[in-house]
Amino acid sequence: MIAEIGLAALWLAAALAVLQMVSGAFALRANEGEVNPLAIYARPAAVVQAFLAVLAFAMLLWAFAITDLSLKLVATNSHSMKPLLYKLTGTWGNHEGSMLLWVGVLALSGGLLAAFEKRLPERTMGATLSVQGFVALGFYAFLLLSSNPFERLPVPAGEGSGLNPLLQDIGLAIHPPTLYAGYVGLSVAFSLAMGALLTREVNPAFARVMRPWVLGAWVLLTLGITAGSYWAYYELGWGGWWFWDPVENASLMPWLAATALMHSVSVLAARDALRTWTIMLGVLAFSMSMLGTFLVRSGVLTSVHAFAVDPERGAFILGLLGLYIGGAFAIFALRAGAVAEGKRFAVASREGALVFNNVMLSAILAIVLLGTLYPLLTEAFDVRVSVGPPYFNPASAIFAVPMLLVMAVGPLLRWKSDTPRRLQFELALIAALVIGVIGLVSVFGEFPLLPLLGLGLAAALAVAAFLPLRGRKLSRVPVATWGMVIAHFGVAVSLFGMACEGAFSQERLAAVAPGGTEQIGDFTVTLESVTPVAGPNWTAIEARLAISDKGGEPVILNPQARSFWSPPQSTSESALLTRWDGQLYAVIGNQAADGRWQIRVWWKPFVTFIWYGGLLIGLGGVLAIAGRVRVDVKRRQASAKGDQRRADLEALGQASPVPAE
């Protein structure tokens, strides 16, 4: 019964998406200021659709919770003996379930937009909801026609066949749903951009409506990537946190586009400039999300994270991609010329810096896109090449370094036009920090160029992030400004972590007999014993490592080599010793013929800062949303009060005063 309710809800939701699309389109046929009578169904359709899609997802969640083995999806991806938490997270640890989560979030955000957004002109709102319905419809079709999550087995399975053990981890509970929510949030930005483009209403009011969605999606992407990076770091067992793998890049590209979009939408909201550019980025950001979905699921590229690969589904997603993105770019090419360019500004201005960095972000995006897709291009000619960190790191640094420098200065500039002379002290300080730190570190040894640059830039950026607060009364600084300061500081923190990991990491690989000792950095690592242990659906050998810092009190770490039996697969469970200034990362390997055990230990100074930085960036985004929403609510209350007064005055029979705004 559960499955049937879920499936029915999905079909109904798809029907409502059609209604939303058609009804929304009628709004375009209304004259200025009027409402087409057929356009009134779009909003309720979006709201009810949200309810139905979420209901469908809840039904699947329930089926996984009770391990309903008559469902094909549950039987192939779950197991009755799995811990409940991983049964639940298993719901989206597979293709169908994750697509259902995707449409659930898509419908939910569409519903929220329809229910709460009253600032946009009705025509733009109608067009936006119509586009949103069109996008949702494609994904419903995808689910219902080619990836039905509620498919029944003719005969219920006796037992499920389990879940990839790498995915039985708390990281899976957080990372993919966060990322999907971010991807899907960008779909709202996309719909809004298309709506505004269709009605030619690209203006600050539209930007203010779009901004919270972009910010929200961007925060979720930031947190999703941060979580994913940490997950890969401790789960894959080799201490790598970013490998420029196609799937990693697939999540980075929407983030880059969203970062650029978030900044340009702010310029549009504040200064009414960069209109076409903002629309372009709105389309681009969602294109990148869909491109990522395509790359991950079609299997056209080889990846360590390859997931639910199937060329047939790939063809379906590619079709959707062609329809939405091709269509959007075509409308863009036809319509963007008709959108006026907006206000002008000087090169040395806040807008100038933002434009510069927008272009730099886009260039980095172009590099990542090129490096990711290039192997695909050569494979068409039967040549296989690999593009990896030695390409991506320097190629993106060409654009990242000037971007980070401008990022340090940009927030100090005034809108519209400014003179660099006013900022002599700040510029000198930033330059001194970059050069000073690089010089100082170089004294202590020879390090690769990029980490060295990273250290210098991180120091300068960390200080520069707080310079906008100089000379201001801290209690009067708007919350959104705090958000910017913290997010920029987060970038510095993260950069510092990356640079330290790149420059100062130490590695120790050794075969150790029980009782044997190895030295890494200031730490003494003693292998005390190796014992077998058992978990709910795995067995493992567990090492007991005593870690002592400069001869101090030892701390025990227990890395494991686990063997899961359904499906049979083995994983390395690394053990981490976290200090404020870094992490000790330990892994137990195989036993050699002479009885010694292979252990791998890394000391990674300040590596945790990479993810602390990511969290700070996310926090900055949350503060920015909170600040904007607060201002918005205040403005609404004020205008409601104004309306009230006007109504009162009218009731008194006086002529209504000219609106203040």
Partner 1 sequence: MIRAVASLLLAMLALPALAQDSMPPAPYAYNQLDDPRLEAEASALMQTLRCLKCQSQSIADSDAPMAGDMRHQVRSRILAGESPDAIRRWLVARYGDYVSYEPEVSSTTWPLFAIPVLVILIVAGVLLRRLGKRRNDAGEAA
Partner 2 sequence: MSARLYLWVPLALFAFFAGLAAFMLTQEKNQFVESTMIGQPLPDFALDPAFTGLPGASKADFIGGQPRLLNIWASWCLPCIAEAPQLEALKAQGAEIIGIAIRDRPNDVARFLARHGNPYSRIGSDAISEVQLAIGSSGVPETFVIDAKGVIRYQHIGDIRPEHVPVLMAELEKAR
Which residues make up the interface to partner 1 (CB under 8 A)?
Answer: 236-238, 240, 243, 245-246, 302-304, 306, 344-347, 352, 355-356, 359-360, 363, 366-367, 370-371, 374, 377-378, 381, 383-391, 395, 398-399, 417, 507-511, 534, 539, 563, 565-566, 568, 572, 589-590, 592-593, 598, 600
Which region, judged by CB under 8 A, interacts with partner 2, from 231-239, 347-355, 369-377, 632-640? Answer: 369-377
Q: Which is nearer to partner 2, 312 or 581 (CB)?
A: 312
Which region, judged by CB under 8 A, interacts with partner 2, from 70-78, 264-272, 316-324, 618-626? Answer: 316-324
> What CA–CA distance (Å, rounded) separates 314 from 306?
13
Please, what sign has the CA dihedral across residues 428, 434, 437, 439? negative
321 binds partner 2 (CB under 8 A): yes
Those residues whose C-beta lies under 8 Å from the C-beta of residue 71, and which sit 6 or more positions away, are 3, 63, 150, 151, 152, 153
Task: Candidates 376, 435, 513, 533: give the one binding partner 2 (CB under 8 A).
Answer: 376
Residue 366 beta carbon to partner 2: minimum distance, rounded to whole angstroms:
10
329 binds partner 2 (CB under 8 A): yes
Q: Which is nearer to partner 1, 56 or 355 (CB)?
A: 355
Q: In degrees rounded to 5, what are phi and psi of residue 523?
A: -100, 140
> What CA–CA distance (Å, rounded) separates 420 from 399?
22
The count of C-alpha atoms lying within 13 angstroms of the C-alpha of 425, restricted to the half-sphere facing its C-beta, is: 5
Q: Which is nearer to partner 1, 315 or 592 (CB)?
A: 592
362 binds partner 2 (CB under 8 A): no
Task: Candidates 83, 156, 322, 657: give the one binding partner 2 (CB under 8 A).
Answer: 322
Supply 613's token pair.
């930085």
Those residues whose C-beta lies under 8 Å from the C-beta of residue 355, and which sit 6 or more positions away, are 267, 274, 277
The 8-class DSSP code of residue 10 comes to: H
3-state secondary structure 602-629: EEEECCCHHHHHHHHHHHHHHHHHHHHH
Does an H or E element contain 541, and which?
A: strand 538-549
387 binds partner 2 (CB under 8 A): no
The entry of partner 1, partner 2, none near residue 306 (CB within 5 to 8 angstroms by kind) is: partner 1
Task: Candidates 32, 382, 446, 661: give the one binding partner 2 (CB under 8 A).
Answer: 382
Tokens 């979580």 -> residue: 227
Residue 602 beta carbon to partner 1: minimum distance, rounded to whole angstroms:
11
Strands (E), 462-537: 506-512, 517-520, 523-534
Q: Which is nearer to partner 2, 186 or 586 (CB)?
A: 186
**Residues 300 and 314 sit within 8 Å (Cβ to Cβ):** yes
Show contacts with partner 2 in window 253-282 (CB under 8 A): 280
Task: Candidates 83, 84, 161, 326: give the one binding partner 2 (CB under 8 A).
Answer: 326
431 binds partner 2 (CB under 8 A): no
CA dihedral 38, 42, 44, 48 (to 10 degrees): 130
Closest CA to 572 of 544, 542, 551, 534: 542
Q: Which is nearer to partner 1, 425 or 565 (CB)?
A: 565
337 binds partner 2 (CB under 8 A): yes
3-state secondary structure 562-595: EEEECCEEEEEECEEEEECCEEEEEEEEEECCCC
Q: Which is nearer to partner 2, 376 or 513 (CB)?
A: 376
Those residues whose C-beta lies under 8 Å from the C-beta of residue 396, and which sit 6 or more positions away, are 364, 367, 368
Residue 346 beta carbon to partner 1: minimum distance, rounded to whole angstroms:
4
Residue 525 beta carbon to partner 1: minimum distance, rounded to whole angstroms:
14
Residue 598 beta carbon to partner 1: minimum distance, rounded to whole angstroms:
5
Distances (CA, A) of 67 to 96, 157, 174, 538: 16, 11, 21, 19
Q: Which is nearer to partner 1, 319 or 388 (CB)?
A: 388
Residue 576 beta carbon to partner 2: minimum distance, rounded to whole angstroms:
32
Report the greatest alpha carbon distance in the chain. 101
> What CA–CA distance (Å, rounded) separates 639 from 644?
8
**Residues 353 and 423 sit within 8 Å (Cβ to Cβ):** no
Task: Candidates 333, 443, 534, 658: give the one binding partner 2 (CB under 8 A).
Answer: 333
Residue 157 beta carbon to partner 1: minimum distance, rounded to whole angstroms:
17
554 binds partner 2 (CB under 8 A): no
**Residues 300 and 292 sit within 8 Å (Cβ to Cβ):** no
> What CA–CA distance (Å, rounded) separates 265 from 213?
11
Residue 281 beta carbon to partner 2: minimum distance, rounded to whole angstroms:
11
Q: What is the Rg, in whole angstroms, of the alpha carbon atoms belonging to the chain?
A: 27
Residue 135 beta carbon to partner 2: minimum distance, rounded to whole angstroms:
16
Q: Which is nearer to partner 1, 185 or 521 (CB)?
A: 521
Omega within 30 of 0 (cis) for the link into 536: no
Q: Which is nearer to partner 1, 71 or 450 (CB)?
A: 450
Residue 587 beta carbon to partner 2: minimum distance, rounded to whole angstroms:
22
Residue 573 beta carbon to partner 1: minimum distance, rounded to whole angstroms:
13
Q: In degrees rounded to 5, what are phi and psi of residue 524?
A: -110, 125
Residue 395 beta carbon to partner 1: minimum distance, rounded to whole angstroms:
5
The entry of partner 1, partner 2, none near residue 157 (CB within 5 to 8 angstroms by kind) is: none
Distances (CA, A) of 186 to 220, 280, 399: 10, 13, 24
Task: Candidates 100, 127, 325, 455: give the one binding partner 2 (CB under 8 A).
Answer: 325
Q: Which is nearer to partner 1, 482 or 597 (CB)?
A: 597
Q: In degrees rounded to 5, what are phi and psi of residue 584?
A: -100, 130
Query: What is the CB neighbour count within 10 angstroms for residue 475?
Result: 5
The entry of partner 1, partner 2, none near residue 359 (CB within 5 to 8 angstroms by kind) is: partner 1
**Residues 614 and 229 sit within 8 Å (Cβ to Cβ):** yes
**Residues 161 and 75 sit within 8 Å (Cβ to Cβ):** yes
Task: Candidates 85, 170, 315, 432: give the one binding partner 2 (CB under 8 A).
Answer: 315
Residue 604 beta carbon to partner 1: minimum distance, rounded to whole angstroms:
14
379 binds partner 2 (CB under 8 A): yes
**Residues 327 and 287 sit within 8 Å (Cβ to Cβ):** no
The entry of partner 1, partner 2, none near residue 386 (CB within 5 to 8 angstroms by kind) is: partner 1
Query: What is the CB neighbour count within 10 angstroms for residue 571?
Result: 20
Q: Which is nearer to partner 2, 60 or 274 (CB)?
A: 274
The entry of partner 2, partner 1, none near residue 592 (CB within 5 to 8 angstroms by kind) is: partner 1
Residue 280 beta carbon to partner 2: minimum distance, rounded to whole angstroms:
7
> Which residues are registered as beta bridge partners of 532?
541
Residue 341 beta carbon to partner 2: minimum distance, rounded to whole angstroms:
12
Q: Which residues bind partner 2 (CB under 8 A)?
A: 280, 283-284, 287, 294, 298-300, 311, 314-315, 318, 321-322, 325-326, 329-330, 332-333, 336-337, 373, 376-377, 379-380, 382, 384
